[in-house]
Amino acid sequence: MNRPQGAPGGRAARRALVPVLLCVLAACAPAAGDAGGEDGDTRPFQAVLEAQAAAVRDGDKAAYLAALDPHADRYRAAQQRVYANLRELPLAEWGYRVADVRRDGDEATVEARLRHRLSGYDRVATTDTERLRFVRRDGHWRLAGEAPGSATQLWEQGAVTVVRGEHSLVLGVGRARSRLRALADAADRAVPAVAGTWPHGWSRRTVLQVPSSTAAMGRLLESPASSYDGIAAVTTGEAQDGAREENAPADRIVVNPRAFAELSEQGRQVVLTHETTHVATRRQTTGATPMWLSEGIADWSGYRTSKLTPRRAAPELARAVADLDAERGDSSPLRALPTDEDFRFDNDPARLARAYEGGWLACRMVAEEWGADELVALYDRAGREGGGEHAGLDAALRSVLGVSRAQFTDRWRAYVTAQLRQGPAQG
């Protein structure tokens, strides 16, 4: 599941820290924490954050804590844990750029862009927006806490356990190391499975985050926890607007510990292969890529080695076909390919399930009737149509498959009906 687009579903930790690259903005920044400047002046706050980032790089806990307000006891305690967590991560880049400052006497709210990159896993840095509270004590600005609207990071949610796989890095909070090891092993199996179809253009490495609960997952993804009930994992990348960017944001596969634990071993592998496909296809995914294609190809990849029959894997569409055969329905789910709206998390669960099932069967049909290479070519072409800014499915279908959208939809409808009428629902 590709979160901004939508979609349901170890080795021992090492304390070595790759040197951190800082974002140095001002050649003449004042000494860390010096008071000064008016509302909107970023320099004193930039200096504090740069000094704290340097402390992370140097492994200097005292300097890290020196940036904090000595009277903010709870925040200081939480930041000691954050510092310990950051020292466990293979950081290649960690730095802040202050974007905005709002002062009110001896207090200030600072908006800063946090850039961070994991060595060996991220090609480019991820940027998050932090909103931080500062107070002025004895003529110096000090960090006193986070302001509403600040991004939540996994390393702020509890003690992080780090497990390294051959192709994966798993970061967990409140999870037993043995469970994280099993997750890393499954992620390691997913990477070569996806690489068989997508051999180029991605790192063949994944980073998985496992929060302590569904509620913690919601805070991490800045969405209501109810959005992820029953959803085993999501991928936190974004489709690119306009032409594809070489430096697409780093993806994170976020696992819902409760829903994931309820799956069978086969189901877990399907989910991780699905999510890994989103990582592999990120550079080919744009605003022009229809949801049924992006989610369908991820499910196609996930189910390729599964022994599940179509009826077992697509129960909601199977019911729609059964209702149609019994003249109990109007076949509305089969009238057209799923729309992007059908993939909204807050939809009726049956509608959401039909969207995923319909997309999967569309991609399965392409792979069977035209070939897997043509499915990949269709995905790539669809993302490039219209400069990647608007849907160009019709042109992509004609160019790659030689059919119009109407012809493709007719073939899909016939394929779905035939597949879901076959045999008993077993597998």
Q: Is residue 379 part of a domain?
A: yes
Residue 5 lies in a domain: no
Question: Beta 233-235 vs 253-255: how paired, if at all?
Answer: antiparallel
Give the pLDDT mean for 30-59.
78
Confidence of residue 425 (pLDDT cuts 50, 70, 90): very low
Could you tell me which residue, 128 or 250, shows the higher pLDDT? Answer: 128
More confident residue, 327 or 389: 327
Any domain includes 409: yes
The pLDDT score that the predictor gives to residue 205 is 95
Report pLDDT digits (tens) over 326-356.
Answer: 665 555 788 899 999 999 888 888 999 999 9
Report if residue 410 sits inside a domain. Answer: yes
Q: How deeply is 348 buried, as exposed, middle or buried, from its count of CB atoms within 10 A (0-12, 13-18, 19+)? A: exposed
Residue range 371-391: average pLDDT?
82
* 357 inside domain: yes
Q: Pick the last residue of a domain from 129, 155, 181.
A: 155
Q: CB 191: neighbour CB atoms within 10 A?
A: 22
Residue 308 located in a structural domain: yes
CATH code for position 90:
3.10.450.50
**DSSP code per residue over 77-97:** HHHHHHHHHHHHS-EEEEEEE
CB atoms inside a 10 Å sphere around CB 315: 16
Q: Does the pLDDT value for residue 244 go beyond 50?
A: no
pLDDT band for 2, please (50, 70, 90 cuts).
low
Q: Indicate the residue among 136, 155, 174 that finishes a domain.
A: 155
The rounded distance, in Å, linking the Cα atoms of 293 and 342 is: 13
390: exposed, middle or buried (Cβ count in 10 Å: 0-12, 13-18, 19+) = exposed
Residue 235 falls inside a structural domain: no
Taking CA atoms, 156 is separated from 96, 175, 266, in Å, by 17, 15, 32
Tally the domains of the chain. Answer: 2
Looking at 100, 129, 155, which one is the last position of a domain?
155
CB 206 within 8 A of CB 166: no
Averaged pLDDT for residues 52-58? 93
Q: For the residues 25-50, what does the mean pLDDT come to?
A: 63
pLDDT, tens digit, for every residue of 272-303? Answer: 999 999 999 998 998 889 999 999 999 999 99
User: pTM score, two decimals?
Assistant: 0.84
Structural domain for 113, as ranges: 43-155
Residue 222 is assigned to a structural domain of this protein: no
Give mean pLDDT, residues 145-173.
96
Task: Judge whether 375 and 363 are in contact, CB under 8 Å.
Answer: yes
Cα angle, residue 94 at apex, residues 91 and 100 outer, rounded to 5° = 160
